A and B are shown apart, each in its own frame.
Chain A
């Protein structure tokens, strides 16, 4: 790190050490309440991560020997719209360039389409 980076961090350290704890916590909660955009975790992960990690896809049952292998995935709450926004006509292209076709009839019907941990069936 260059000197100006170190100077910036030193100044930040001194600042944080000199703010009363209660004030710092209250200010943090207020800033978080009015925050927008990505979390720092997502921001740094997006610099080097796979689509699977970003969009919450996890292949649990990958049958490579079958022409019509079934893929079962646990989808996080917000990942389905992400996947569908990537797809045209429910054709899905995964991070490793394999193509999948989503059969809507295979979806397990739940009260909420966006239920967490809902199981989806995909056929390649």
Chain B
């Protein structure tokens, strides 16, 4: 199945417009950990969060946004953790496999201090750890991952379920949806246009 959607990349407004257009998207800072792994990060569907990102440090309101078409013919190499339940379940399966294997190893670890540290770390297992482990071991068959978070200042919510025990569920909107495109998948980003500059 073909996948096609718009995405927006924010960068500093440095050098010329031509330079930005020719070189965007810019790779994530390799010296820092990235939550979905190293690659090209873009906001999806709308430029809303691309502008919000441009206002933050170190861009501080001096930024450019480049627009791309994300075009992919093979959806099997796209992990959609926002809009595809099967992809979410597959990722949960990957997390469970990794965490379950580690739990067994930790339980058998004879070094008490190490076992204690590892248990604490495992209880805070990060998304980035899981993804980076399987990328490093060449067992992560995806060229792009779409994910979202809920930002406390940008995301609103309305309750839509109130059950008898008082538990409420909410619809959050808008969620900060973004994609990372890994280096070997860069060609899915097509038809770049300088969308905004300030």
Contact = CB atoms under 8 A, between A and B. Distances in A.
Answer yes or no: do A and B interact: yes
Interface of A: 1-2, 4-5, 8-9, 11-13, 15-17, 19, 21, 24-25, 27-29, 31-32, 34-41, 43-44, 46-52, 54-55, 82, 85-86, 95-97
B95 interface: yes
B117 A38 contact: no
A40 to B, nearest CB: 5
Given A1-B86, A50-B169, A55 B152 contact: yes
B90 A9 contact: yes
B126 A50 contact: no
Given A21-B105, A48-B169, A50-B167, A28 B35 contact: no
Given A9-B94, A25-B118, A36 B128 contact: yes
B168 interface: yes
Nearest to A86: B152
A38 B157 contact: no
B97 interface: yes
A28 B102 contact: yes
Contacts of B121: 28-29, 32
A6 B87 CA distance: 11
Interface residues of B, number: 58
B56 interface: no
Given A1-B89, A4-B76, A19-B137, 12 more contacts: A12-B139, A24-B102, A25-B102, A28-B102, A38-B35, A39-B126, A48-B169, A50-B170, A51-B170, A52-B168, A97-B158, A97-B159
B58 interface: no
Given A11-B139, A31-B129, A40-B130, A5 B86 contact: yes
A47 B149 CA distance: 9
Interface of B: 32-36, 76, 86-90, 92-95, 97-99, 101-102, 105-106, 108-109, 114, 117-118, 121-122, 124-130, 132-134, 136-137, 139, 141, 147-150, 152-153, 157-159, 162, 167-170, 172
Contacts of B93: 1, 5, 9
A24 B118 contact: no
A9 B97 contact: yes
Given A5-B90, A8-B94, A47-B88, A82 B139 contact: no
7 contacts: A24-B102, A39-B127, A40-B99, A40-B126, A43-B127, A82-B152, A85-B153
A19 B101 CA distance: 11
Contacts of B158: 97
A109 B4 CA distance: 54
Nearest to B124: A39
A76 to B, nearest CB: 13
B86 A15 contact: no
A48 B82 CA distance: 12
Contact of A95 (B137, B152, B159): B159
Contacts of B36: 37
Contacts of A5: 86-87, 89-90, 93
